[in-house]
Amino acid sequence: MKSTDETPRNPYLTVDIVIEVDDSIVLIERRNGPEGYALPGGFVDYGETVESAAIREAKEETGLDVTLVRQFHVYSDPARDPRRHNVTVVFIARADGKPAGRSDAKSAALFHKNALPGNMVFDHGRILDDYLCDRY
């Protein structure tokens, strides 16, 4: 039985965004650990919808104004992020322009679906595999 004075331990809620620009997608190179490439994304603020968080995080990390196309999937494996248990809601979005790394993104670039970098962090390689299977 759980003690009533214990602070509940809940997973953190995050968003990740597959941003389509023409026939490419946007990936960021992380400024902070773990090092590697990732989808743009981050934590949902208290009082914020996941949709608003996705639009905000995309702008903060890539400089792009995105239009959300649809919610893609939710990923909740407790081991998906080595830092803590995060649950992410993944969105597909579209944008125009050239991304630029901002905020906690060292860089941001466009990658063709057939030329994705190998050093993807978290479970973002799996997310992109699911996305590519769904899209193509």
**Contact criterion met (CB below 8 Å) for 12 and 86:** yes
- The CATH code belonging to domain 12-135 is 3.90.79.10
Domain coordinates in residue numbering, the chain: 12-135
The SS3 call for residue 129 is: helix
Q: Are 86 and 80 in contact (CB under 8 A)?
A: yes
Given a cut of 90, whether residue 127 has pLDDT beyond it is: yes
Structure letter (DSSP) for residue 35: P
User: What token pair was written down for 32?
Assistant: 């902070």
| Cα gap 66→26, rounded to integer Å | 11
Q: Say if residues 15 and 44 touch (Cβ distance below 8 Å).
A: yes
For residue 64, the model assigns a pLDDT of 98
Q: Place 33 in a pLDDT band, splitting at 50, 70 and 90.
A: confident
Whether residue 56 is predicted with pLDDT greater than 90 in this model: the reply is: yes
